[in-house]
Amino acid sequence: MALADHAFDPDAVPNLDIFSEYRLYSVAGLDQGRVVHALRLGFFREEIGAVAVASYLAAYWDKPTIKRVSLAERERFADQRVEARKDIGATGKHAVIEITDELVARRRRSTKASAASKASNRPI
């Protein structure tokens, strides 16, 4: 998901619901003589699941990538997790979901517009 030259601070990692479904962990390794920390989310049974989750995570990280990891890494991090602590709050994107059998959803009218429409349709 992300690379850094320092360990990831759990207080700076967004606490996303997806982290309860998969293992969030961090590894450190050498890359061209320097220590690089990688924040990873695993482990997926199929690549298609990883692709779907990566597209979701793109809202929070720049260009999350998919990497096949060894069985040894999977076993080594079986009991280790990064505990994400940053509260991201409610996004408000899905506050109301209307379920309908109509092919096209109706436009929602404001209360004032609806009242004015009813008043203008009354006989005089």
- Give the strand order in the sheet containing 34-42: 2-4, 34-42, 23-31
Q: What is the pLDDT of residue 79?
A: 87
Report, as ranges of residue numbers, the positions in the chain whose pLDDT lies below 50: 92-97
Is-contact 66 52, C-beta < 8 A? no
Domain boundaries, the chain: 2-76
Residue 95's pLDDT is 44
Q: What local confidence, expressed as pLDDT, does residue 28 receive?
A: 94
